[in-house]
Chain A
Amino acid sequence: MTSYRTGPDATGLFGQFGGQYVAETLMPLIHDLAAEYEKAKTDPAFLEELAYFQRDYVGRPSPLYFAERLTEHCGGAKIYLKREELNHTGAHKINNCIGQILLARRMGKQRIIAETGAGMHGVATATVAARFGLQCVIYMGTTDIDRQQANVFRMKLLGAEVIPVTAGTGTLKDAMNEALRDWVTNVETTFYLIGTVAGPHPYPAMVRDFQAVIGKETREQLMEKEGRLPDSLVACIGGGSNAMGLFHPFLDDASVKIVGVEAAGHGIETGKHAASLNGGVPGVLHGNRTFLLQDEDGQIIDAHSISAGLDYPGIGPEHAWLHDIGRVEYTSITDHEALAAFHQCCRLEGIIPALESSHALAEAFKRAPTLPKDHLMVINLSGRGDKDMQTVMHHMQEQKESVV
């Protein structure tokens, strides 16, 4: 049997996607990083330290929760929620941050930089930098700063410097450009803690490995509860780290249907969306070859999504490959659909989900009613929605006004 879990190859490629498309200044460092990570991932001391922090600092394992009322409401598949929102800092982002900060320390780096969209990765990075006493600089687009004030304040409380990025539309892509510029300038001292399964090799594989704890736990937990594997998995995708983390341990289980959910924004047909697979074509950006939102001239088009964390015109290269070979189905959910699912989850389960995760919920709610009652579905509840209060309030206000 061919395995879907062996990628990338030595050059960082998943099929035709991935690679190391970066400026020469960064190449030696990226090779160092790849070598250091190769050593670390089989070093018992590193793995033990990682497990310790995952357990006692992050709070793992996160529960796999049977969402009884959502299941009743949908009237079909049995729905489980993987509760990544219960992690320290409120999302799956910390899984990766803990791994990378331990690596940064091994490499003797004193300064940590990161990009952030919704601010969850920024907060998680600032958190681990504080814990390990390292200097921390976070790049964040001005549009995102406006819609995620609370997270900006959190990062500052944790001792990070938050640098506003005005270029472009002031969202995640622009923050990533600026972080790359910082890295190229401070390459000797600085560790770039990328928050998703994108960027040059080894980041897509490394971030996936740190996030794969989600899928590994899910496997064990469902075995314990149901005595078998899930029938389907659903997760939202911006860059795609929470999805990759859940999916990867199941890729070779042919019976498991896997669904990734992109952000359709106002609708893919409007052009205002963030669905790189469903509305983009292959290209090269931020160190990797992947599907991108771009125009006829290869200029990158700004993404749109109500959720800042999905507002990115690319997607991790491993997802691009899984899409290409058809192992994972990639669908999309609009802002409206995500908001509706957000409200349902709040009312029915007493869980306020992140708007990002609400995209996965919305897709699951479409599918669950059509499936038999013994179908086991796992939704990755990748983050909590506390950060989204302003956005949701604003949207409810707008709706009220448009009704009047």
Chain B
Amino acid sequence: MSRLQTRFAELKEQNRAALVTFVTAGDPGYDASLAILKGLPKAGADVIELGMPFTDPMADGPSIQLANIRALAAKQDLVKTLRMVREFRQDDQSTPLVLMGYFNPIHKYGVPRFIADAKEAGVDGLIVVDLPPEHNVDLCEPAQAAGLDFIRLTTPTTDDKRLPKVLNGSSGFVYYVSVAGVTGANAATLEHVEQAVARLRRHTELPVCIGFGIRTPEHAASVARLADGVVVGSALVDRIAKAETPGQAVEDVLGLCRELAEGVRAAR
């Protein structure tokens, strides 16, 4: 079983949802970012999404745009992001780690080389925002052939006709983008989330994680009652933006992660 399968099976046994956290690699700098990454599992993150910085994050709102800018200013690149994953894996063999970002840096790195290096570093899955199933051959198929999960985004605009196409080739989990919009946008209503999860469950056995606009432990808890996982990104990244020192950034991100984890764990 893959790390993602194992983790979601464990959580099902415990009857609780996963807390999925997103931070951008290299934000606010390599060392602090690595410290955040290493601290997240202990602070209650069940699955880690690590952003690969890109100059043109077209599907991201202001918080994650700024995170990308900070990381790039600190000279983060894909080589360093993979090194960060390797360092993380030295003392954590169980927490699933998914790289998330845009296709161009991977394309430039070279797809076969990227897949080999990501696998070797201990990456479990990929989320690539601008690779819809129409472009499965570009990365999804070779990545899955090498044993990396390819996690698809589904959205309110993905109708029943299109859903099978999107889910076909998805593995690991399904990421439901609960609002049409960019990251950090307003949250969807719980009614919408409930209906969306029910609709997805009719089409897939994969765990369903809900993201976009979830910022507080209370909110995370209410979504955790409905889905298999709760994704929080912008709210964590905002803590880095507000911190005055890298040390404080580490502390504040992990602090919020602990609060969110409590919310998720107390939900059911």
Residues of A at the B interface (CB closer than 8 Å) are: 11, 19-29, 167-168, 173, 177, 180-181, 184-188, 281-287, 292, 294, 296-300
Quick check: B132 and A20 within 8 Å, CB to CB? yes
Partner of A300, one of B65, B104, B158, B166: B104
Q: What are 16 A-B contacts with C-beta separation under 8 Å?
A: A11-B134, A23-B59, A23-B130, A25-B177, A28-B162, A168-B55, A180-B59, A181-B60, A184-B180, A187-B157, A284-B102, A298-B105, A298-B107, A299-B55, A299-B105, A300-B104
Number of residues in B with C-beta < 8 Å to the partner? Answer: 43
Q: Which residue of B lies closest to A167 (CB)?
A: B65
Q: Which residue of B lies closest to A186 (CB)?
A: B180
Quick check: A296 and B158 within 8 Å, CB to CB? no
Take A21-B130, A24-B152 as given contacts and tell me if A284 and B103 are in contact as well, using a CB distance cutoff of 8 Å: yes
Q: Which residue of A lies closest to B105 (CB)?
A: A298
Task: List the 6 closest A-B pairs by CB distance, nearest first.
Answer: A298-B108, A298-B105, A297-B77, A185-B181, A25-B155, A21-B130
Partner of A22, one of B53, B79, B132: B132
Return B250 CB to nearest CB of chain A, in Å. Answer: 25
Return B50 CB to nearest CB of chain A, in Å. Answer: 16
Which residues of chain B from 33 to 55 have a CB within 8 Å of any chain A CB? 53-55
Quick check: A24 and B107 within 8 Å, CB to CB? no
Is B135 on the interface with A (CB-CB < 8 A)? yes
Quick check: B109 and A173 within 8 Å, CB to CB? no
Quick check: B180 and A284 within 8 Å, CB to CB? no
Quick check: A28 and B157 within 8 Å, CB to CB? yes
| Interfacial chain B residues near A299, Cβ < 8 Å | 53-55, 72, 77, 105
Return A23 CB to nearest CB of chain B, in Å. Answer: 5
Partner of B180, one of A25, A282, A285: A25
Is B185 on the interface with A (CB-CB < 8 A)? yes
Q: In the complex, what distance in Å separates the CA atom of A294 from the CA atom of B109?
A: 12
Return A269 CB to nearest CB of chain B, in Å. Answer: 22
Quick check: A19 and B135 within 8 Å, CB to CB? yes
| Interfacial chain B residues near A296, Cβ < 8 Å | 77, 108
| Interfacial chain B residues near A186, Cβ < 8 Å | 180
Q: In the complex, what distance in Å separates the CA atom of A186 from the CA atom of B156?
A: 12
Quick check: B104 and A284 within 8 Å, CB to CB? yes
Is B188 on the interface with A (CB-CB < 8 A)? no
Q: Chain B 50-85 against A: per-residue CB contact (8 Å), 1 yes, 0 no?
A: 000111111111000100000010000111000000
Starting from the known contacts A29-B157, A187-B180, 14 additional A-B residue pairs (CB-CB under 8 Å) come to A19-B134, A20-B134, A21-B131, A24-B155, A25-B177, A180-B59, A181-B59, A184-B182, A185-B181, A284-B103, A294-B104, A296-B108, A299-B72, A299-B77
Return B244 CB to nearest CB of chain A, in Å. Answer: 23
Take A185-B181, A185-B182 as given contacts and tell me if A180 and B78 are in contact as well, using a CB distance cutoff of 8 Å: no
Take A11-B134, A177-B58, A180-B58 as given contacts and tell me if A298 and B104 are in contact as well, using a CB distance cutoff of 8 Å: yes
Return A311 CB to nearest CB of chain B, in Å. Answer: 15
Is B159 on the interface with A (CB-CB < 8 A)? yes
Quick check: B159 and A185 within 8 Å, CB to CB? no
| Interfacial chain A residues near B256, Cβ < 8 Å | none
Q: In the complex, what distance in Å separates the CA atom of A300 from the CA atom of B102?
A: 12
Q: In the complex, what distance in Å separates the CA atom of A167 from the CA atom of B72?
A: 14
Q: In the complex, what distance in Å separates the CA atom of A404 from the CA atom of B130?
A: 52
Quick check: B135 and A23 within 8 Å, CB to CB? no
| Interfacial chain A residues near B267, Cβ < 8 Å | none
Quick check: B177 and A297 within 8 Å, CB to CB? no
